[in-house]
Amino acid sequence: MTNEPTVVLHLRKYAEDEALRESLARRCRALGQEFHEIARCEISLAENGGDFVAHGHVTGKSTDVATHASASEIEPALDQLLHKVERQLRRGHDKRIFGQRRDARRDPTKRREPAPES
């Protein structure tokens, strides 16, 4: 049983675009399936002059990632945002996992001695 993250979308002027909302919710749930520590995924989209600005904030157990992206169209701005979020989540995840492995390798008390050959 997996816990899906809570997905909160703030789409100013685009509240009626259900296809966009569903696509973002699906992609956030996919991030939640890959990174189980995610509890909440919040995305805001606003128009700033001629550009679209997307802000994202992902929180969870030992996870707090915030980033933003902008582009001249909606889809590229959201794609850039989700790509940046995924990269930051991957970096933090790898640090936790591989950092523990590196520490275990360095600590001589945690090493297993090879069995003596008979």
Query: Residue 1: what pLDDT?
Result: 41
| 2 has a pLDDT exceeding 60 | no
What would the mean pLDDT of 94-106 be, rounded to a whole number?
75
What would the mean pLDDT of 47-68 be, rounded to a whole number?
88
Structural domain spans, the chain: 6-102
Q: What is the DSSP letter of 110?
A: G
Query: Residue 66: what pLDDT?
Result: 92
> What are the φ and ψ backbone dihedral angles of 33, each rounded to 5 degrees?
-75, -30
22 touches 55 (CB < 8 A): no
Beta-strand pair 38-48/6-11: parallel
Task: Domain 6-102: give its CATH code.
Answer: 3.30.160.100
Alpha carbon distance 108, 37 (integer Å): 30
What would the mean pLDDT of 37-51 be, rounded to a whole number?
88
Amino acid at 21: R
Residue 117 vs residue 41, higher pLDDT:
41
Return the residue matching tokens 């128009």: 47
Of 84, 85, 97, nearest to 60 (Cα)?
Answer: 85
Query: Residue 21: what pLDDT?
Result: 83
What would the mean pLDDT of 25-30 be, rounded to a whole number?
89
Alpha carbon distance 57, 65 (integer Å): 6
